[in-house]
Amino acid sequence: MTQPIVIAHRGASGYLPEHTLEAKALAYAMGADYLEQDCVLTKDEVPVVLHDIHIDTVTNVAAVMPKRARNDGRFYAIDFTVDELKSLRVTERLDHETGKPVFPKRFPAGKSRFEIPTLAEEIEMIQGLNASTGKNIGIYPEIKQPAWHHEHGKDLSRILLDVLHSNGYRTKQDPCFVQCFDVEETRRLREELDCQLPLVQLTWDVKWSENGDGFDRDYIDTVLKQFAEYADGIGPKMSHVTSGADESGKPIVTPLVDSAHAHGLVVHPYTLRADDMPDWIDDFEELLRICYKTAKVDGLFTDFPDRAVHVRNQLM
Protein backbone atom coordinates (compact mmCIF):
# COMPACT_ATOMS: atom_id res chain seq x y z
CA MET A 1 0.00 0.00 0.00
CA THR A 2 1.22 3.50 -0.80
CA GLN A 3 1.25 6.16 1.88
CA PRO A 4 -2.35 6.88 2.93
CA ILE A 5 -3.70 10.25 1.88
CA VAL A 6 -5.09 12.91 4.18
CA ILE A 7 -8.29 14.51 2.90
CA ALA A 8 -9.17 17.85 4.47
CA HIS A 9 -12.87 17.44 5.29
CA ARG A 10 -14.53 20.71 4.22
CA GLY A 11 -11.01 22.16 4.49
CA ALA A 12 -9.34 22.70 7.84
CA SER A 13 -12.84 22.92 9.26
CA GLY A 14 -11.67 22.25 12.81
CA TYR A 15 -10.10 25.70 12.76
CA LEU A 16 -12.02 27.92 10.31
CA PRO A 17 -15.62 27.93 9.00
CA GLU A 18 -16.17 24.95 6.72
CA HIS A 19 -15.79 25.19 2.95
CA THR A 20 -14.44 28.73 2.96
CA LEU A 21 -11.39 29.52 0.84
CA GLU A 22 -9.61 30.40 4.07
CA ALA A 23 -10.27 26.91 5.46
CA LYS A 24 -8.97 25.37 2.25
CA ALA A 25 -5.83 27.54 2.19
CA LEU A 26 -5.08 26.59 5.79
CA ALA A 27 -5.56 22.88 5.02
CA TYR A 28 -3.23 23.27 2.05
CA ALA A 29 -0.59 24.84 4.29
CA MET A 30 -1.06 22.04 6.84
CA GLY A 31 0.00 19.46 4.27
CA ALA A 32 -3.29 17.81 3.29
CA ASP A 33 -3.06 15.74 0.12
CA TYR A 34 -6.61 16.47 -1.05
CA LEU A 35 -9.13 19.20 -0.25
CA GLU A 36 -12.82 18.30 -0.26
CA GLN A 37 -15.53 20.29 -2.08
CA ASP A 38 -19.18 19.46 -1.40
CA CYS A 39 -21.10 20.92 -4.34
CA VAL A 40 -24.65 22.13 -4.90
CA LEU A 41 -26.14 24.33 -7.62
CA THR A 42 -27.37 27.89 -7.54
CA LYS A 43 -30.48 29.19 -9.29
CA ASP A 44 -28.27 30.18 -12.25
CA GLU A 45 -26.66 26.70 -12.30
CA VAL A 46 -23.28 27.57 -10.85
CA PRO A 47 -21.69 24.87 -8.66
CA VAL A 48 -20.92 26.36 -5.26
CA VAL A 49 -19.09 24.74 -2.37
CA LEU A 50 -21.57 24.01 0.41
CA HIS A 51 -22.19 20.89 2.44
CA ASP A 52 -25.98 21.14 2.27
CA ILE A 53 -28.71 22.18 -0.11
CA HIS A 54 -29.77 24.49 2.75
CA ILE A 55 -27.79 27.62 3.56
CA ASP A 56 -29.37 28.83 6.81
CA THR A 57 -27.08 26.89 9.17
CA VAL A 58 -23.85 28.35 7.73
CA THR A 59 -24.82 31.86 6.60
CA ASN A 60 -26.69 34.94 7.80
CA VAL A 61 -29.39 34.53 5.14
CA ALA A 62 -32.25 34.42 7.65
CA ALA A 63 -31.23 37.81 9.01
CA VAL A 64 -30.69 39.63 5.72
CA MET A 65 -33.19 37.89 3.40
CA PRO A 66 -35.89 36.54 5.74
CA LYS A 67 -38.61 36.48 3.08
CA ARG A 68 -36.66 34.02 0.89
CA ALA A 69 -37.43 30.99 3.05
CA ARG A 70 -39.60 28.21 1.65
CA ASN A 71 -42.76 27.02 3.37
CA ASP A 72 -40.70 24.68 5.53
CA GLY A 73 -38.80 27.65 6.93
CA ARG A 74 -35.53 26.65 5.29
CA PHE A 75 -33.41 28.57 2.80
CA TYR A 76 -32.12 26.66 -0.25
CA ALA A 77 -29.05 27.47 -2.33
CA ILE A 78 -30.95 26.60 -5.49
CA ASP A 79 -33.33 29.54 -4.89
CA PHE A 80 -30.52 32.10 -4.99
CA THR A 81 -28.23 33.34 -7.77
CA VAL A 82 -24.51 33.07 -7.24
CA ASP A 83 -24.31 36.86 -6.77
CA GLU A 84 -26.95 36.69 -4.04
CA LEU A 85 -25.09 33.90 -2.27
CA LYS A 86 -21.87 35.89 -2.55
CA SER A 87 -23.50 38.72 -0.62
CA LEU A 88 -24.02 36.52 2.44
CA ARG A 89 -21.63 36.07 5.32
CA VAL A 90 -20.54 32.53 6.09
CA THR A 91 -20.33 31.55 9.74
CA GLU A 92 -19.35 28.54 11.80
CA ARG A 93 -22.04 25.85 11.48
CA LEU A 94 -25.06 26.33 13.73
CA ASP A 95 -27.62 23.76 14.83
CA HIS A 96 -30.85 24.38 12.92
CA GLU A 97 -33.03 23.64 15.95
CA THR A 98 -31.13 25.51 18.68
CA GLY A 99 -29.22 28.15 16.73
CA LYS A 100 -26.11 27.28 18.73
CA PRO A 101 -22.71 26.30 17.28
CA VAL A 102 -22.44 22.57 16.49
CA PHE A 103 -18.81 22.68 17.63
CA PRO A 104 -18.70 25.42 20.30
CA LYS A 105 -14.92 25.40 20.73
CA ARG A 106 -14.19 26.08 17.07
CA PHE A 107 -13.92 29.45 15.31
CA PRO A 108 -16.29 31.93 17.01
CA ALA A 109 -19.61 32.03 15.17
CA GLY A 110 -20.29 35.27 13.33
CA LYS A 111 -16.75 36.59 13.62
CA SER A 112 -14.62 37.85 10.73
CA ARG A 113 -15.76 37.86 7.09
CA PHE A 114 -16.13 34.72 4.98
CA GLU A 115 -18.14 33.98 1.84
CA ILE A 116 -19.39 31.04 -0.21
CA PRO A 117 -16.91 30.09 -2.96
CA THR A 118 -17.82 28.70 -6.34
CA LEU A 119 -16.20 25.44 -7.35
CA ALA A 120 -14.31 27.25 -10.11
CA GLU A 121 -12.96 29.83 -7.66
CA GLU A 122 -11.73 27.15 -5.31
CA ILE A 123 -10.06 25.20 -8.08
CA GLU A 124 -8.40 28.40 -9.26
CA MET A 125 -6.97 29.02 -5.79
CA ILE A 126 -5.73 25.43 -5.36
CA GLN A 127 -4.12 25.38 -8.79
CA GLY A 128 -2.58 28.75 -8.05
CA LEU A 129 -1.07 27.40 -4.85
CA ASN A 130 0.18 24.35 -6.75
CA ALA A 131 1.91 26.70 -9.19
CA SER A 132 3.48 28.86 -6.48
CA THR A 133 4.55 25.98 -4.21
CA GLY A 134 5.47 23.35 -6.77
CA LYS A 135 3.11 20.86 -5.13
CA ASN A 136 0.28 18.90 -6.72
CA ILE A 137 -2.45 18.92 -4.07
CA GLY A 138 -5.67 17.37 -5.32
CA ILE A 139 -9.38 18.09 -5.11
CA TYR A 140 -12.15 15.78 -3.91
CA PRO A 141 -15.58 17.07 -4.99
CA GLU A 142 -18.81 15.48 -3.79
CA ILE A 143 -22.05 15.60 -5.76
CA LYS A 144 -24.66 16.46 -3.12
CA GLN A 145 -28.21 15.16 -3.45
CA PRO A 146 -28.23 14.69 -7.24
CA ALA A 147 -31.77 13.24 -7.25
CA TRP A 148 -33.07 16.36 -5.49
CA HIS A 149 -31.35 18.52 -8.12
CA HIS A 150 -32.90 16.38 -10.88
CA GLU A 151 -36.32 16.99 -9.32
CA HIS A 152 -35.63 20.70 -9.67
CA GLY A 153 -34.66 20.33 -13.33
CA LYS A 154 -30.92 20.63 -12.82
CA ASP A 155 -28.19 18.13 -13.70
CA LEU A 156 -25.56 18.76 -11.04
CA SER A 157 -23.32 15.91 -12.18
CA ARG A 158 -23.08 17.04 -15.79
CA ILE A 159 -22.46 20.65 -14.82
CA LEU A 160 -19.84 19.70 -12.23
CA LEU A 161 -17.99 17.49 -14.70
CA ASP A 162 -17.93 20.37 -17.18
CA VAL A 163 -16.19 22.55 -14.57
CA LEU A 164 -13.71 19.79 -13.76
CA HIS A 165 -12.94 19.11 -17.41
CA SER A 166 -12.47 22.78 -18.22
CA ASN A 167 -9.91 22.96 -15.42
CA GLY A 168 -7.89 19.96 -16.58
CA TYR A 169 -9.36 17.15 -14.46
CA ARG A 170 -10.27 14.40 -16.90
CA THR A 171 -8.38 11.14 -16.33
CA LYS A 172 -7.50 8.72 -13.54
CA GLN A 173 -4.04 10.21 -13.50
CA ASP A 174 -5.35 13.65 -12.54
CA PRO A 175 -5.43 14.56 -8.81
CA CYS A 176 -9.20 14.47 -8.44
CA PHE A 177 -11.56 11.98 -6.82
CA VAL A 178 -15.30 12.40 -7.41
CA GLN A 179 -17.57 11.08 -4.65
CA CYS A 180 -21.31 10.62 -4.20
CA PHE A 181 -23.69 8.80 -1.86
CA ASP A 182 -26.25 8.12 -4.59
CA VAL A 183 -25.38 4.71 -6.07
CA GLU A 184 -27.36 5.23 -9.26
CA GLU A 185 -25.78 8.63 -9.85
CA THR A 186 -22.24 7.40 -9.22
CA ARG A 187 -22.79 4.62 -11.74
CA ARG A 188 -24.29 7.18 -14.13
CA LEU A 189 -21.12 9.25 -13.86
CA ARG A 190 -19.13 6.35 -15.26
CA GLU A 191 -21.55 4.73 -17.68
CA GLU A 192 -23.62 7.61 -19.07
CA LEU A 193 -21.49 10.69 -18.51
CA ASP A 194 -18.22 8.82 -19.27
CA CYS A 195 -16.38 10.21 -16.25
CA GLN A 196 -12.85 8.80 -16.31
CA LEU A 197 -11.80 10.34 -13.00
CA PRO A 198 -11.48 8.07 -9.95
CA LEU A 199 -14.95 7.54 -8.48
CA VAL A 200 -15.64 6.89 -4.81
CA GLN A 201 -18.93 5.40 -3.70
CA LEU A 202 -19.88 6.87 -0.35
CA THR A 203 -22.00 4.68 1.89
CA TRP A 204 -23.75 4.70 5.24
CA ASP A 205 -25.53 1.36 4.69
CA VAL A 206 -27.09 0.36 8.01
CA LYS A 207 -26.53 -3.28 7.10
CA TRP A 208 -22.80 -2.67 7.25
CA SER A 209 -22.01 -3.76 10.76
CA GLU A 210 -20.73 -1.25 13.30
CA ASN A 211 -19.57 -4.16 15.41
CA GLY A 212 -16.78 -6.37 14.13
CA ASP A 213 -18.46 -9.48 15.53
CA GLY A 214 -21.51 -8.97 13.34
CA PHE A 215 -19.76 -8.21 10.07
CA ASP A 216 -21.58 -10.01 7.26
CA ARG A 217 -18.76 -10.73 4.83
CA ASP A 218 -20.99 -12.35 2.21
CA TYR A 219 -23.34 -9.36 2.09
CA ILE A 220 -20.48 -6.88 2.00
CA ASP A 221 -18.65 -8.81 -0.71
CA THR A 222 -21.81 -8.76 -2.84
CA VAL A 223 -22.16 -5.00 -2.42
CA LEU A 224 -18.45 -4.34 -3.02
CA LYS A 225 -18.52 -6.44 -6.18
CA GLN A 226 -21.31 -4.21 -7.49
CA PHE A 227 -19.43 -1.04 -6.54
CA ALA A 228 -16.28 -2.31 -8.28
CA GLU A 229 -18.18 -2.45 -11.59
CA TYR A 230 -18.02 1.34 -11.83
CA ALA A 231 -16.14 2.80 -8.83
CA ASP A 232 -12.50 2.92 -7.77
CA GLY A 233 -13.05 3.21 -4.05
CA ILE A 234 -15.48 3.46 -1.17
CA GLY A 235 -16.05 6.07 1.51
CA PRO A 236 -17.56 4.28 4.51
CA LYS A 237 -18.32 5.61 7.96
CA MET A 238 -15.27 5.27 10.18
CA SER A 239 -17.30 3.06 12.52
CA HIS A 240 -17.61 0.51 9.72
CA VAL A 241 -13.82 0.22 9.64
CA THR A 242 -12.88 0.34 13.31
CA SER A 243 -15.86 0.19 15.58
CA GLY A 244 -14.68 -0.03 19.16
CA ALA A 245 -12.43 -1.90 21.53
CA ASP A 246 -12.70 -5.36 23.06
CA GLU A 247 -12.50 -6.13 26.78
CA SER A 248 -8.71 -5.96 26.70
CA GLY A 249 -8.77 -2.55 25.03
CA LYS A 250 -7.66 -3.85 21.64
CA PRO A 251 -9.38 -2.01 18.79
CA ILE A 252 -12.03 -3.91 16.84
CA VAL A 253 -11.22 -3.68 13.14
CA THR A 254 -13.77 -5.10 10.72
CA PRO A 255 -12.73 -7.01 7.57
CA LEU A 256 -14.09 -4.17 5.41
CA VAL A 257 -10.75 -2.80 4.23
CA ASP A 258 -9.43 -6.25 3.32
CA SER A 259 -12.67 -7.06 1.50
CA ALA A 260 -12.58 -3.79 -0.42
CA HIS A 261 -8.94 -4.32 -1.40
CA ALA A 262 -9.84 -7.78 -2.67
CA HIS A 263 -12.23 -6.07 -5.09
CA GLY A 264 -9.64 -3.50 -6.15
CA LEU A 265 -11.24 -0.66 -4.20
CA VAL A 266 -9.45 1.90 -2.06
CA VAL A 267 -10.98 2.85 1.29
CA HIS A 268 -11.28 6.46 2.52
CA PRO A 269 -13.43 6.51 5.70
CA TYR A 270 -15.11 9.63 7.12
CA THR A 271 -14.91 11.67 9.41
CA LEU A 272 -12.22 11.89 12.10
CA ARG A 273 -12.76 14.81 14.48
CA ALA A 274 -10.70 15.56 17.57
CA ASP A 275 -13.72 17.29 19.13
CA ASP A 276 -16.23 14.54 18.29
CA MET A 277 -14.53 11.30 19.21
CA PRO A 278 -16.12 7.82 19.29
CA ASP A 279 -17.12 6.86 22.82
CA TRP A 280 -14.63 4.00 22.96
CA ILE A 281 -11.49 6.15 22.65
CA ASP A 282 -10.35 9.54 23.93
CA ASP A 283 -6.98 9.92 22.19
CA PHE A 284 -7.26 11.40 18.69
CA GLU A 285 -3.70 10.57 17.72
CA GLU A 286 -4.20 6.97 18.79
CA LEU A 287 -7.36 6.78 16.69
CA LEU A 288 -5.35 8.00 13.71
CA ARG A 289 -2.66 5.41 14.37
CA ILE A 290 -5.30 2.67 14.48
CA CYS A 291 -6.70 3.78 11.13
CA TYR A 292 -3.27 3.93 9.51
CA LYS A 293 -1.49 0.92 10.99
CA THR A 294 -4.19 -1.50 12.18
CA ALA A 295 -7.05 -0.89 9.76
CA LYS A 296 -4.66 0.02 6.92
CA VAL A 297 -6.95 2.54 5.27
CA ASP A 298 -5.84 4.15 2.01
CA GLY A 299 -6.80 7.60 3.21
CA LEU A 300 -9.14 9.35 5.61
CA PHE A 301 -11.30 12.44 5.93
CA THR A 302 -10.57 14.71 8.87
CA ASP A 303 -11.43 18.21 10.11
CA PHE A 304 -7.91 18.38 11.57
CA PRO A 305 -5.54 17.68 8.66
CA ASP A 306 -2.45 18.95 10.48
CA ARG A 307 -2.76 16.29 13.16
CA ALA A 308 -3.53 13.55 10.64
CA VAL A 309 -0.49 14.51 8.55
CA HIS A 310 1.73 14.64 11.63
CA VAL A 311 0.77 11.15 12.84
CA ARG A 312 1.02 9.65 9.36
CA ASN A 313 4.47 11.10 8.83
CA GLN A 314 5.60 9.72 12.17
CA LEU A 315 4.44 6.23 11.20
CA MET A 316 5.32 6.03 7.50
- Least Cα distance to 201 among 168, 171, 223, 217 occurs for 223
What is the 3 state secondary structure string of the chain?
CCCCEEEECCCCCCCCCCCCHHHHHHHHHCCCCEEEEEEEECCCCCEEECCCCECCCCECHHHHCHHHCCCCCCCEHHHCCHHHHHCCCECCCECCCCCCECCCCCCCCCCCCCCCCEHHHHHHHHHHHHHHHCCCCEEEEEECCHHHHHHCCCCHHHHHHHHHHHCCCCCCCCCECEEECCHHHHHHHHHCCCCCCCEEEECCCCCCCCCHHHCCHHHHHHHHHHHCCCCCEEECEHHHCEEEECCCCCEEECCHHHHHHHCCCEECCECECCCCCCCCCCCHHHHHHHHHHHCCCCEEEECCHHHHHHHHHHHC
- Least Cα distance to 103 among 12, 179, 31 occurs for 12
Catalytic residue among 19, 51, 54, 240: 51
Catalytic residue among 9, 19, 54, 240: 9
Spacing of C-alpha 145 from chain mean position: 13
Catalytic status, residue 9: yes
Spatial CB neighbours of 276, under 8 Å, sequence gap ≥ 6: 103
Catalytic status, residue 51: yes
Give the residue numbers marked as catalytic: 9, 51
